[in-house]
């Protein structure tokens, strides 16, 4: 089922926002209260894709988008042994239910990782669903030893 993977452009922002909503509904248990967030995310994603803060990839099948993944690039303090000055956060890896278990998430992550390695980035972080943890483990992702303080509601 895998079609070619293409880089997203700012015109793909509505799709990426919609995939983000579907992901939050599925993993976070959110409902219709996310509907107003689509416009907020669409605007932010369009601007971030335009200025390079966000990179994203899309898989299409029969001309319709069925999966996407995004990489947020942020400044980082260089670490010992790494001259890189940026880190990445993987956002919104989403595969439509009818297209799952066909290697699309892995293919998207392979494309994202290939870019991340050439950027270069100090590290990549992500917040996986329980279902996706095994995939990320096979890609080399490890649990972090960090803590977080939420300053705004989710």
The answer to whether residue 1 scores a pLDDT higher than 60 is: no
153 or 38, which is more confident? 38
The 3-state DSSP class for residue 42 equals: helix
DSSP letter at 79 equals B
| Domain presence at residue 122 | yes
d(Cα 58, Cα 53) in Å, to the nearest integer? 17
Position 10 in a domain: yes
pLDDT of 29 reads: 83
pLDDT digits over 42-73, tens only?
999 999 999 999 999 999 998 899 999 999 99
Contact 16, 56 (CB under 8 A): yes
Tens of pLDDT along 106-135?
Answer: 999 999 999 999 988 988 999 998 889 999
pLDDT at 2: 60
* Cβ atoms of residues 69 and 106 within 8 Å: no
Q: Comparing 1 with 104, which gets the higher pLDDT?
A: 104
**Per-residue confidence band for 8, with pLDDT thresholds at 50, 70 and 90:** very high
The strands making up 124-125's β-sheet, listed across from edge to edge, are 5-7, 54-61, 64-75, 86-95, 124-125
CB-based contact 78:84 (threshold 8 Å):
yes
Residue span of the structural domain in which 50 resides: 5-138
Q: How many domains does the chain have?
A: 1
Q: CA–CA separation, 1 vs 61, rounded Å? A: 7
Rounded CA separation 146/20 (Å):
25
Confidence of residue 154 (pLDDT cuts 50, 70, 90): low
Band the pLDDT of 144: cuts 50, 70, 90.
confident
Does a structural domain hold residue 143?
Answer: no
Residue 46 sits in a domain of what CATH number?
3.40.630.30
Is residue 108 a contact partner of residue 68, using CB atoms and an 8 Å limit?
yes
Residue 147 belongs to a domain: no
Res. 21: pLDDT tops 90: yes
């Amino acid at each position: 089922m895998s079609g070619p993977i293409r880089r997203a452009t700012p015109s793909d922002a509505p799709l990426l926002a919609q995939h983000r909503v579907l992901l939050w509904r599925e993993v976070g248990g959110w409902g219709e209260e996310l509907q107003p967030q689509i416009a907020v995310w669409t605007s932010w994603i369009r601007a971030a894709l335009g200025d390079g803060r966000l990179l994203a990839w899309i898989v299409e099948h029969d001309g319709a988008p069925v999966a996407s993944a995004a990489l947020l690039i942020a400044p980082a303090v260089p670490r010992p042994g790494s001259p890189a000055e940026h880190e990445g956060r993987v956002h919104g890896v989403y595969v439509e239910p009818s297209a799952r278990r066909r290697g699309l998430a892995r293919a998207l992550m392979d494309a994202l990782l290939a870019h991340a390695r050439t950027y270069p980035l100090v590290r990549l972080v992500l917040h996986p669903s329980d279902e996706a943890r095994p995939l990320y483990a096979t890609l080399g992702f490890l649990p972090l030893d960090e803590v977080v303080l939420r300053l705004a509601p989710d």
